[in-house]
A and B are shown apart, each in its own frame.
Chain A
Amino acid sequence: MTATTTESDLLGLANAVVAQARPGEGMEVYVTRGTDTEVRAYEGEVESLTSADSSGVGIRVLTADPGGSGSQVGFAWAGSLDPAVVEATLADARDNARFATPDPDVVLAEPDGVAAVELDLWDDGVASTPMEKKVALALELERATRAADPRVRQVSSADYADSRGEVALVTTTGITSYRRRTNAFLSVDAIAGEGTDTQTGTGFSVGRGPGELVPDEAMDDAVLRATRMLGSQKTRSTHCTVVFDPRVASTLLGIVASALSGEALVKGRSFFAGRVGEIVAAPAVTLVDDPTDPRAYGAATHDGEGLACRRNVLIADGVLRMFVFDTVSARRAGAVSTGSAVRGGFAGTPSAGCRALVLAPGTKSQEEILASVGEGLYVQSVTGVHSGVNPVSGDFSVGAEGLLIEGGTLGQPVREVTVASTLQRMLQSVVEIGGDLRWLPGVAAGQTLAIADMTLSGD
Chain B
Amino acid sequence: MAEVFAEDASTSGAMLDDRKVEELSSGRNRGAGIRVVDGETTGFAHTADLSESGLVAAAKAAAAVARSGGPGTRTVALEPVSAHGRGDRTPPDTIDKARKLELLTRADDAARAAGDAITQVQVGCGDSRRRVLVANSDGLFAQDDQIRTRFSVACVANGDTGMQTGHESLARTEGFEIFERYPVEDIARVAAQRALTKLSARPAPSGEVPIVLAGGSGGILFHEACGHGLEADHIVKDASVYTGRVGELVASPLVTLVDDGTVVGEWGNFAIDDEGHLPARNVLIENGVLTDYMWDWLRARKEGRASSGNGRRQSYQHLPMVRMTNTYLLAGAEDPDEIIAQTPHGVYVKKLGGGQVNTATGDFVFGTTEAYLIENGRITEPLRDANLIGNGPEVLRRIDAVATDFDMTPGTCGKDGQSVPVGCGQATLRITGVTLGGTA
List the interface of chain A (C-beta within 8 A of B). 42-43, 45-55, 73-80, 82, 85, 88-89, 92-93, 95-97, 99-101, 103, 153-154, 156, 189, 191, 198-200, 234, 237, 266-269, 271, 347, 349, 383-384, 386-388, 390, 392-395, 397-399, 401, 415-422, 455-459
Contacts and interface: CB of A to CB of B under 8 A. Distances in A.
Interface residues of B, number: 80
A390 B238 CA distance: 35
Q: Which of B25, B158, B319 has the most CB of A within 10 A?
A: B25
A458 B207 contact: yes
B377 interface: no
Interface string B227-249: 00000001001110100000000
Interface in B38-54: 39-49
A271 B162 contact: yes
A395 B18 CA distance: 23
B360 A459 contact: no
A154 B239 contact: yes
Interface stretch (B72-80, B131-139, B170-178, B383-391): B383-391
B90 interface: no
Interface in B1-47: 14, 17-31, 39-47
A420 B364 CA distance: 16
A50 B319 contact: yes
Given A387-B366, A393-B385, A420-B438, A49 B41 contact: yes
A388 B386 contact: yes
Given A75-B25, A80-B48, A268-B120, A416 B386 contact: no
A383 B198 CA distance: 24
B20 A387 contact: no
B80 to A, nearest CB: 28
Contact of A77 (B27, B47, B198, B390): B27
B26 A42 contact: no
B306 interface: no
Contact of B22 (A55, A79, A100): A100
A46 B97 contact: no
Given A82-B49, A200-B360, 9 more contacts: A78-B29, A80-B31, A156-B239, A269-B156, A388-B387, A393-B162, A393-B163, A393-B165, A418-B386
Contacts of B436: 418, 457
A420 B386 contact: yes
B206 to A, nearest CB: 4
B119 A268 contact: yes
- Top 10 nearest A-B pairs (CB, nearest first) are A418-B437, A387-B367, A388-B387, A384-B365, A457-B206, A96-B24, A399-B365, A387-B354, A48-B42, A397-B386
A339 B118 CA distance: 32
Given A50-B319, A384-B367, A455-B206, A347 B24 contact: no
19 contacts: A42-B40, A45-B39, A52-B58, A54-B48, A82-B48, A97-B24, A99-B24, A156-B234, A349-B25, A383-B364, A387-B356, A388-B365, A388-B385, A393-B198, A395-B384, A398-B365, A416-B363, A418-B436, A455-B206
Nearest to B39: A45
Given A75-B23, A96-B97, A397 B437 contact: yes
Given A54-B317, A399-B387, A421-B439, A92 B164 contact: no
Nearest to A459: B208
B285 to A, nearest CB: 21
B389 A416 contact: yes
Contact of B438 (A154, A384, A457): A457
A79 B30 contact: yes
Contacts of A85: 28, 30
B122 to A, nearest CB: 8
Contacts of A53: 47
A198 B241 contact: yes
Nearest to B358: A200
Contacts of A198: 241, 360-361
Contacts of A421: 439
Contacts of A458: 207, 435
A294 to B, nearest CB: 26
Contacts of A399: 356, 363-365, 387, 389, 437
Q: Which of B208, B366, B386, B387 has the most CB of A within 10 A?
A: B387
Nearest to B388: A418
Contacts of A42: 40, 237
Contact of B45 (A50, A79, A100, A237): A50
Interface string B244-274: 0000000000000000000000000000000
B301 to A, nearest CB: 14
Contacts of B91: none
A357 B48 CA distance: 35
Given A52-B45, A103-B20, A455-B438, A384 B65 contact: no
